[in-house]
Structure 1
Amino acid sequence: MDTVLKEWIGRVHDAVETQQPLRIRGGGSKDFYGGTPAGEVLDTAAYRGIVVYEPTELVVVARAGTPLAELEAALAEKGQCLPFEPPHFGAATVGGMVAAGLSGPRRAAVGAVRDYVLGVKLIDGKGELLSFGGQVMKNVAGYDVPRLIAGSLGTLGLIAEVALKVLPLPVAERSLRFALDEAEALRKLNEWGGQPLPIAASAWHDGVLTLRLAGAHAAVDAAQAMLGGEVVADAAAFWASLREQTHAFFAGGEPLWRLSVASVAQPLGIPGPTLIEWGGAQRWLRGDQGAEQLRSAAASAGGHAALFRGGDAIKASAGVFQPLSPALLKIHRNLKQAFDPHGVFNRGRLYPDF
C-alpha cells in the first residue's frame, strides 16, 4: 500500500480514538460550498497523478489529489475531455470534483459527474481501504457506490482514486444568440429540446438566450440554418465564464441561490437577477429573497433550492441545502452510519447534524 494511504488510514484511526473529526481538503477551491465542516484538515493534494489512461477505451484513472487542470490537459492531448465540464473555481482536484458533484454548462446534454464515475477507491470511517466499481460501464454489483460518492461532499469517505469515463472533444461547435424574454426563452428551449438538434448548452440572462451547438460539422450547420440567431464571436470565453462563475452575473457579495426545477416550469416570478441554464432546469438567483420563499417556489416547480454562495450568517439561518423529508433523512443517516459510523469525515458539510 502507498505510504500516503497508510498515513491517511492512521489519521482516521486516530480520529476515531480521539473522537475528533477530519476535514477533507484538496485544492480548497470549493471551501465556500456547503456548510463549514468541523475538525482538523486532512490535505489530499500530495496523493496525485494519473494511474491509468486508455484513450482507446475512453477510461482514465487518477488519484484524488491530481489537479483537475492537469487531468484535462492530458485528455486534450488525445482529443478527449470530461464532457460534463466540471468547474474549477481555482485549484480544483479530481477528488474534489467528484466529492462536490458539480457540472458545467454541458450537463443537460451529456449527464452529470456521477454518470461518468466508473469506480472509486476510498477509505471509510473505520480506516478500511475499499474499492467499488471498476473501469468499465457495466461493472456494477449491488449498490452503485461510485455514483453515491459523487456529490456526497466527503461525508461518506475519503476518496483515494477515481476511474472516469471520458469522451472525444466535439468536432464542431458554434454558439448562437437570440433576443428573447424569459418566458419565450423557456418555451423555445423546451421546444428545441424535443427536436433532434445538437444543443450542447444554453444560458438565458437579461433578455438574451445563448445556445451552443456541438457535433458533426453538417449537423451544426443544419441546426444553425434552422434556428437562425446571431453567431457569438468569443463563445469559448462566454461558456468558460459560466462554468467558472466569472460572468458579471456572479459578481458581488449577494447570496447566490441555485434552483433545480423542471425544465418546463414557467418563470418563477421571484424578484432579483436571474440566469437560466440546462434548458430551463437550473435557475440561478441573486439576492436575499428568503429561503422559505425560494424553496417553496422551487418545490412548486418540481425541484429544490440550495444556497450556493453566502456568508456564515445566512447559512446558519437558512441552511445550505433543501431540508430532507423524514424518509430521505433516514436514508442519509443510514448511509452515514454504514460508511462513517463514528462521524469522522466532514461533519456538518452536507447537513448540520451529520
Structure 2
Amino acid sequence: MQAIVEQFRHTIMAASAAGTLLRLRGGGSKDWYGQQLAGEVLDTRAYTGIIDYEPTELVITARCGTPLADIEAALAARNQMLAFEPPHFGPGATVGGTLACALSGPRRASAGAVRDFVLGAVLMDGRGERLAFGGQVMKNVAGYDVSRLLAGSMGTLGLVLDVSLKVLPLPLREATLRFDCAEIAALRMLNEWAGKPLPISASCWHDGVLMLRLSGAEAAVCAAQATLGGSVVAPEDASAYWISLREQTHGFFDGAGSLWRLSLPPHASAVILKGRQLIEWGGAQRWLKLDGDADAAGAQRIRQTVAAAGGHATLFRGGDKAVGVFHPLAPAVALIHQRLARSFDPAGIFNPQRMY
C-alpha cells in the first residue's frame, strides 16, 4: 500500500507544479452531487482495506478506497453499525467518499451526523505532505478538529488517505409505527415527542402518513409503543422502507425534475412551496420535489422562503446547477472557506469549484 501512497504523492506534486486540476474520486456513486465535475480523475479505489478494527473500543480505521459495504459487513458481524446510516447511492460507495460528502441517513437526527463520528484522519495535502489529525479515541479530540472539518469538504482540502470512525452497537430491538395524519399534525407530534424520553431513531412524513422508528432496549421500545399507539409495521416491510429512504429509492424520489434538500429547525412550521414534500429527522430535513427545474428566480424564492424560516436549501439532485447547488455563504464564512482551501491546497488543484 505504501507504493500506492507514493503514487498519489507523485501525481499530486506533479499536478501542483503544472497547475493540473485533479478530481478525487472513489466509486463515483455520488458524482452527481455538488457543482460540475472538473479535472483529471485520481482514483482512490486501489488504496483499500480495513487497517484496524477493535469492537471493544467501538472504533474502526480504514483506507479511503475501502468499499462502504465491506465496512458495514465487518461491523454487522460483531453486531455493530455506522450509526449515521450513510447512503450508498450505488455499489461503488467508499468510506472516503462517505466522509467527503458527509451524507447521513434516517438515524442522523437521533445518533448524529458523519462529522460526529470522525475520530481521526490522515490527509495528503496539495504539497504532497501526509498530515495526521485526531486519533482513535474520543479523548484525543481537542482544539480545532481538522479531521471533522474534512466531513463534507467534497475533496476540496486534500486526499483523505485513512479515516477512523466511532461505531455503535446495533439496537437490541426496533419497531416501526404508522400514523395517518396531515403535515401540520405530524410536525406538532414530532416536536412534542422530541421533548420526551422516547427511543425514536427515525421519522418520515409523506402524503398523509407518518412513519416512526423506535430503537433501543426491549423494555424501552415496548413502553414507547404503548405510549404512542399507531399501527405496527411488519419488520421486513419496515426495514425495506427505511432503506428506501436512505438510498432514495422510495417512490417520492422517482421521476424527472429537481430535488431540493431543505434544512430547517425542527420546530419550523410547514413551508409552503410549489412541489411535493417529504419530511425527515423530526422536521429538520425536508425534501422538495419539483416537476421541472427552478430558474434563478425560482431558486432564489426557495432559498428566501427557507431562510426566513431559519434554514437553508441545497439543490441536491437534478436541476440547473447554474443557480448554485449549495446555499450561498455569508461573506465572512466564505472567506474562511477560501483561506482553508489555500492553506491545504495552495495551487487550487483539488476538486475545483465542486462546492462553490
Q: Which TM bucket (shorter chain)? A: over 0.9
Per-residue Cα deviation, 1:34-91 (whole angstroms, up to 9, x for no partner): 0123210000000000000000000100000000001100000000000000000012
Aligned to 2:321: 315
Between the aligned partners of 2:353 and 2:77, the Cα distance in structure 1 is: 40
Per-residue deviation, 1:142: 3.3
Residues 1:163 and 2:171 aligned together: no
**Which residue in the other structure is 2:275 paired with?**
272
CA contact (8 A) 2:50 2:63 kept: yes
For residue 138 of structure 1, give the secondary structure of its aligned residue in structure 2: helix
Which amino acid letter does the alignment assign opposite residue 307 of structure 1? L
- What is the RMSD computed on CA atoms of the aligned residues? 0.9
| Segment drifting more, 16-25 vs 286-295 | 286-295
Instruction: Give secondary structure in 1 for the equivalent of 2:36.
Output: coil
Q: Any conservation in 1 of the 2:31–2:37 contact (CA below 8 Å)?
A: no
Count of matched residue pairs? 348
Specify which of 303, 308, 316 is matched with residue 311 of structure 2: 303
Deviation string, structure 1 residues 91-143 (Cα, Å, up to 9, x no partner): 20000000000000000000000000000001001110110000011212431
Q: Does 1:333 align with 2:338?
A: yes
Q: CA deviation at 1:248?
A: 0.3
Structure 2 CA distance for aligned equivalents of residues 172 and 58 of structure 1: 20
3-state SS in 1 of match to 2:109: helix
Which residue of structure 2 lines up, in the alignment, with residue 99 of structure 1?
100
Amino acid paired to 2:314: A
- Which residue is 1:80 aligned to? 80
Name the amino acid aligned to 2:48: R
Instruction: Tell me what 2:287 maps to.
Output: 284
The gaps in structure 1 that reach 5 residues or longer are none
**In the TM superposition, what whole-angstrom CA distance separates every residue of 1:167-196 from its partner, at most 9, and x where no partner exists?**
000000000000110011000000000000
Question: Equivalents in 2 of 1:208, 1:88: separation in Å?
Answer: 26
Q: Distance in 2 between matches of 1:131 and 1:72?
A: 24
Q: CA deviation at 1:252?
A: 1.1
How far apart, CA to CA, are the structure 1 residues paired with 2:306 and 2:343? 31
Q: TM-score, normalised by structure 1?
A: 0.97
In 2, the alpha carbon distance for the partners of 1:141 and 1:340 equals: 24
Identity of aligned pairs, percent?
A: 64
Q: Distance in 1 between matches of 2:89 and 2:352?
A: 23
Query: 2:305 & 2:140 partners in 1: Cα distance?
Result: 40
The 1-side partners of 2:193 and 2:143 are apart by 38
1:11-33 deviations in whole A, cap 9, x for unaligned?
11111111011001100000010
Alpha-carbon displacement from aligned partner over 1:143-167 (angstroms, at most 9, x marks no partner) = 1001100000000010100000000
> Residue deviations 1:253-297, cap 9 Å, x none?
210000000100000111211000000000000114521111011
Normalising by structure 2, report the TM-score. 0.96
**Which residue is 1:22 aligned to?**
22
C-alpha contact 2:15 2:22 (8 A) present in aligned 1: yes
CA–CA separation in structure 2 for the residues paired with 1:310 and 1:331: 28
Distance in 2, Cα, partners of 1:148 & 1:157: 12
Code of the residue aligned with 1:322 in structure 2: it is H
Counterpart position of 1:255: 258
Task: Say if 2:264 and 2:311, in contact at 8 Å, map to a contact too.
Answer: yes
Alignment of structure 1 residues 1-354 onto 2, 5 Å = 2-90=2-90, 91-233=92-234, 234-287=237-290, 288-289=293-294, 290-311=298-319, 314-316=320-322, 318-351=323-356
For 2:43 and 2:132, how far apart are their aligned partners in 1?
21
Alpha-carbon offset, residue 301 of structure 1: 1.2
In structure 2, give the amino acid aligned to 1:315: K
Instruction: Tell me, in whole angstroms, the C-alpha distance in 2 between the residues paired with 1:139 and 1:38.
Output: 36
C-alpha separation in 1, matches of 2:36 and 2:132 = 28
Q: Is the 8 A contact 2:198 2:224 kept in 1?
A: yes
Aligned-partner Cα distance in 1 for 2:355–2:126 = 16
Which amino acid in 2 is paired with 1:107?
R
Whole-angstrom distance in 1 between the partners of 2:142 and 2:192? 38
Q: Give, in whole Å, the separation in 1 of the partners of 2:108 and 2:268.
A: 18
Give, in whole Å, the separation in 2 of the partners of 1:263 and 1:183: 12
Q: Given residue 197 of structure 2, which amino acid in structure 1 is its aligned partner?
A: P
Moved more, 280-289 or 212-221: 280-289
Q: 57-66 or 139-148, which moves further after superposition?
A: 139-148
Counterparts of 1:140 and 1:269, CA distance in 2: 42
Task: Return the letter of the residue paired with 1:343.
Answer: G
User: In structure 1, what residue type is equivalent to 2:133?
Assistant: F
Q: CA deviation at 1:339?
A: 0.9
